[in-house]
Amino acid sequence: MPGGWEAPAAAPDPQLASFLRHLRVERGLSPRTLVSYRSDLQAYLQKLAQASKGPLEATRDDITEYLWHKKSLGVQASSLARYIASLRAFYRFLVSEELIVKDPAALLQTPRKPERLPRYLSIEEVSRLITSTARTRDLKSLRLWAMLELLYAAGLRVSELTRLTLERIDLKVGYVRVLGKGGKERIVPIGERARLAVQAYLNRRPQTGASVKALFLSNRKNAMSAVQFWRLVRSAAVSAGIRQPVSPHVLRHSFASHLVQNGADLRAVQEMLGHASISTTQIYTHISQSHLQRAHKKYHPRA
């Protein structure tokens, strides 16, 4: 059947056929996932066959040699991690079926994936993006201006921004009470520019019934959705001449990156972002270091 699950009996090895059947029947994995498992493990079994071995006779050295062979072919760490996961699952199954006593894949270590630094805008790009929305004073422009200013001022997730209610923002004192992941609340200060932008929007915000408490309303006078806002941000970025893809989360990354680059305490940034662990926030120190390296290379006379 095109795109469907092919019978595991087609697998050349009986242990692999049993394993695939287990994944399909007992664990209910999708056809696409099953195809990935089969492809990974068939390649491994073919390598074993060259040494006249089957999976029940394989040792940890056999598995390690296979993985080193894959690595020598230029396989990326993410693919290598997937191969290891397939082998672990396969051999756990063989142990559970009492086909082998000792699991040769038990001590395999998953390679660390290269850390990807989050995308963020420069301070100039953020300024250009926000300024481009504040040029006109119609309601839609005021709303987008206020949302961008607040998003960048407080480093909010898009869901946190769109779920904000009127009573959760205090423009007089200058803070928002954010309901983050797991229902955890945090208080984040906002600057004068965000306060002015939100106030300008509130002055024109349509009147609604008491049941509608959302701060930012869609054109239908209900809460603005995350998808709607994402589209508005993307369009505004194109209009502002920003070449890289821009999403609301890019502005959250920009908020944190600019704070760290300018010397903000990492614990304070963690608290404002609502990260449960400081290790999540530490990614922005890497951004700061790469920023300094670029500046040194560009401006130092002997770099």
DSSP labels for 136-193? --SHHHHHHHHHHHHHHHHT--HHHHHT-BGGGEETTTTEEEEE-GGG-EEEEE--HH
Give me the catalytic one of 24, 252, 253, 258. 252
Read off the tokens for 48.
């074993």
Rounded Cα–Cα distance for residues 73 and 152 (Å): 44
Active-site residue (options: 92, 234, 249, 286)? 249
Tell me which of 157, 163, 195, 258 is the catalytic residue.
157
Give first-to-last CA distance, the chain, whole Å: 61
Tell me, yes or no, if 298 is annotated catalytic: no
Q: For this structure, is 249 an active site residue?
A: yes
- Catalytic residue from among 119, 275, 286, 291: 275
Q: Which of 140, 181, 204, 294 is catalytic?
A: 181
Task: Specify whether 275 is catalytic.
Answer: yes
Which of these CATH numbers, 1.10.443.10, 1.20.140.10, 3.40.640.10, 3.30.200.20, describes 123-299? Answer: 1.10.443.10
Amino acid at 150: L
Return the axis-axis angle of helices 14-25 and 31-50, rounded to nearest 10°: 160
Tell me which of 41-55, 185-199, 216-230, 273-287 is least confident.
273-287
Catalytic site residue from 91, 120, 152, 284? 284
Find, among 180, 122, 257, 177, the residue nearest to 266 by Cα: 257
Alpha-carbon distance 212 to 123, whole Å? 35
What percent of the chain has a predicted confidence (pLDDT) above 90?
Answer: 62
pLDDT (tens digit, 9 = 90+) per residue, 206-236? 988 888 899 999 999 999 999 999 999 999 9
Annotated catalytic residue 120: no
Q: What is the CATH number of domain 8-96?
A: 1.10.150
pTM tops 0.85, yes or no: no
pLDDT, tens digit, 9 for 90 and up, residues 23-58:
988 888 888 888 989 999 999 999 999 989 999 999
Is 286 marked active-site? no
Domain positions in the chain are 8-96, 123-299
pLDDT band at 285 (very low <50, low <70, confident <90, very high): confident
Nearest to 224 by CA among 236, 207, 238, 212: 212
Residue 91 is a catalytic residue: no
